[in-house]
Amino acid sequence: MRLVLSALVPLLGLFIWRSKYTLYYNILTLPDLPDGYYSEGNTSSLCSPMKSAPDPDFKHCEDLHLWDLHGPDGTVNERRVIVTCDSGRRKWNTVMGPLIDPHPSGSLWMHSTTSGQTTRLTLENFPQGHTFHPLGAEAYPSYSGNASYLYVVNHAKDKTVIEQFLISPSSSVAKYIRTLSHPFFISPNAIALTSPTSFYVTNDHVFTRRLPYIGSIVPITETILGLPLSFTAHVTIDPDETAEKPILSHTFAAPFVSFSNGVSISPSGLEVAIASSSLGRIYFYSRNTTTNALTFTTSVFVPFPPDNIGYDDEGNLIVAGHPHFPTLGKLVKNEIDVAPSWVVSVSPVAGETTTTQYDLKATFPASNIIPSPGQNHTVSTLFQSNGKVFSSSCTAAKDSISGNLYVSGLYAEQGVMICRS
Ligand SMILES: *[C@@H]1O[C@H](CO)[C@@H](O)[C@H](O)[C@H]1NC(C)=O
Ligand SMILES: *[C@@H]1O[C@H](CO)[C@@H](O)[C@H](O)[C@H]1NC(C)=O
Ligand SMILES: *[C@@H]1O[C@H](CO)[C@@H](O)[C@H](O)[C@H]1NC(C)=O
Ligand SMILES: *[C@@H]1O[C@H](CO)[C@@H](O)[C@H](O)[C@H]1NC(C)=O
């Protein structure tokens, strides 16, 4: 026992030191964020709910992802936004709890950036009695109007699985193809496609809330200590939709990252970013486009525990997250109405950001929290709010065609906010 303790204490110290910014600023102290700051101007005039006609199911949205429709010449003709929501999240959340009622289903939505319409996708052929709680989702781009595979992480009643659907630019139906399950789908969270039938998937924890007895304490310990247990895998599936064993391969592409959450592939395909929520960092990897193997290159601090991430067309990584975990925890338990939001852009720059004062346009600059983003990157705030203008930001996407910034809120009543430029 003494031996175990003497080994554990320095280890614990190391983990706490590695999580120090997160621990101090995002857990112990509430950052003094404004009601609303948007890098392009006044939030009151530029930001509004994505869905103007309220729908009781369009709330508590987790992921949002830009779906590109390419014309015959290969250029992007139209861009849509796929959104995953779960109005029953307060009764079913396998990441943060609780696990009370898995039955009311979550929903998938499609927003057209041209018409401004937000439509619910009807699930076709979805197995009866199969519960549906969507988290991360990504669709392969459509070419010349063809249909695309859409993959959705589903933290269903008994196990977290990945649903494969087919969506078409000309309909509002998500046709169920099959459910993908694997012993190493322990806690899938986010997906980034490498082809129509292969993808990276993060697993946010190794110890999940589903575990009997220890499920309410061990996962939170894994989170707070930043234990490097979670991982990102690369998965290839059989293009034959009727194959008896749909998963052809599962490899650990990026093991030993604490609380791996969002994942995204750069526009060139050569870089992959993974968000570590518990360490408040983004890990960058170079990607072998033939084997999908990842090689760690560098990591960059962000001023909050990042949730989902996504590259824009210019190669900036848009990162959304939770500036104050305890407030989010209270929101999950319905003890409070809103939790803060923060969205930053992590952009490549030549050389080192040595200055300790940066992001100074923001009401509450990132440099108030993190010393320097490190070499070759800079961090700048796109949106921040104490929760009044927008609550519990979870994912953000920047559409360089329309100039719009989309932000989803994990427990936001308005579901998704659009900020125009
Ligand atoms: C933002 O716009 C609102 C209403 O359009 C206005 O009342 C407010 O003063 C503006 N804020 C700033 C900082 O300009
Ligand atoms: C749509 O076309 C693209 C490009 O030819 C192809 O890669 C993709 O597999 C097609 N999608 C489906 C679902 O067949
Ligand atoms: C990708 O991996 C393959 C197989 O290991 C190797 O032959 C190739 O050189 C790698 N490509 C790059 C760009 O490293
Ligand atoms: C920053 O970029 C330079 C030049 O590309 C490279 O040599 C260096 O290793 C990079 N630093 C980090 C920490 O990635």
The predicted-structure confidence for 12-29, as pLDDT tens digits, reads as follows: 455 555 566 666 666 677
Q: Which range of residues forms the domain containing residue 340?
A: 2-419
Cβ(69) – ligand 2 distance below 6 Å: no
Atom of ligand 4 nearest to the CA of 376: 1
How far is residue 357's CA from residue 417's CA, in Å, rounded to a whole number? 29
Residue whose CA is at the smallest distance from ligand 1 atom 6: 44
Atom of ligand 4 nearest to the CA of 297: 14
Residue whose CA is at the smallest distance from ligand 1 atom 10: 42
How far is residue 282's CA from residue 301's CA, in Å, rounded to a whole number? 6
Cβ(232) – ligand 2 distance below 6 Å: no
How far is residue 56's CA from residue 92's CA, in Å, rounded to a whole number? 17
How far is residue 416's CA from residue 7's CA, in Å, rounded to a whole number? 46
Residue whose CA is at the smallest distance from ligand 2 atom 2: 143
Q: What is the greatest pairwise CA distance in the chain?
A: 69
Instruction: Give me ligand 3 centre to Cα 237, in Å.
Output: 22
Q: Which ligand is nearest to the Cα of residue 374, counting in written order?
A: 4
Q: Which ligand is nearest to the Cα of residue 165, counting in written order?
A: 2
Atom of ligand 1 nearest to the CA of 42: 1
Query: pLDDT of 340-355, one tens digit each?
Result: 999 999 999 877 666 7
Exposed, middle or buried: residue 363 (CB in 10 Å: 0-12, 13-18, 19+)? middle
Cβ(298) – ligand 4 distance below 6 Å: yes
Residues 277, 308: contact at Cβ < 8 Å? no
pLDDT at 205: 73
Q: Which ligand is nearest to the Cα of residue 48, counting in written order?
A: 1
Instruction: Give me ligand 2 centre to Cα 144, in Å.
Output: 9
Atom of ligand 2 nearest to the CA of 166: 13
**pLDDT confidence of 6, banded at 50, 70, 90?**
very low
Instruction: Give me ligand 3 centre to Cα 287, in Å.
Output: 10
pLDDT at 16: 53
Weakest mean pLDDT among 23-27, 28-32, 165-169:
23-27
Atom of ligand 3 nearest to the CA of 290: 1
Structure-model confidence comparison of residues 258 and 2, the more confident one = 258
How far is residue 236's CA from residue 200's CA, in Å, rounded to a whole number? 9
Report H helices in 114-263. Answer: 218-224
Q: At which residue do the structure tokens 């779960």 appear? A: 86
Weakest mean pLDDT among 9-13, 77-81, 177-181, 264-268:
9-13
Residues 179, 160: contact at Cβ < 8 Å? no
Query: pLDDT of 89-142, one tens digit each?
Result: 988 888 788 888 998 899 999 999 889 999 999 999 999 999 999 999 999 999
Residues 392, 33: contact at Cβ < 8 Å? no
Residue 258 sits in a domain whose CATH number is: 2.120.10.30
Beta strands, E only, 25-88: 37-38, 47-49, 61-70, 76-85
**pLDDT confidence of 61, banded at 50, 70, 90?**
very high
How far is residue 160's CA from residue 154's CA, in Å, rounded to a whole number? 6
**pLDDT confidence of 10, banded at 50, 70, 90?**
very low
| Res 11 pLDDT > 70 | no
Weakest mean pLDDT among 155-164, 264-273, 295-304, 369-378:
369-378
Structure-model confidence comparison of residues 334 and 191, the more confident one = 191
**What mean pLDDT comes out for the span 217-230?**
68
pLDDT at 5: 42
User: Residue 322 — left, alpha, or beta (φ > 0 → left; ψ -120 to 50 → alpha)?
Assistant: beta
Residue whose CA is at the smallest distance from ligand 3 atom 5: 291
Instruction: Give me ligand 1 centre to Cα 378, in Å.
Output: 29
How far is residue 396's CA from residue 187's CA, in Å, rounded to a whole number? 22
Mean residue pLDDT of the chain comes to 90
Cβ(17) – ligand 2 distance below 6 Å: no
**pLDDT confidence of 225, banded at 50, 70, 90?**
low
Q: Which residues make Cβ contacts (< 8 Å) with residue 30, sequence separation at least 6?
A: 324, 327, 340
Helix, strand, coil shares of the chain, percent, nearest 5, are 15, 45, 45
Cβ(375) – ligand 4 distance below 6 Å: yes
Structure-model confidence comparison of residues 329 and 28, the more confident one = 329
Q: 107-146 burial, b if ≥16 CB within 10 A, otherwise e?
A: bbbbbebeeeebebbebeebeeebbbbbbbbbbbebeeee
* Residue 164: both structure tokens together: 């494969």
pLDDT at 7: 46
Chain centroid to CA 365? 22
pLDDT at 2: 45
Cβ(196) – ligand 2 distance below 6 Å: yes
Q: Which residues make Cβ contacts (< 8 Å) with residue 389, sequence separation at least 6?
A: 35, 36, 43, 47, 341, 417
pTM of the model: 0.92
Cβ(185) – ligand 2 distance below 6 Å: no
Domain total of the chain: 1
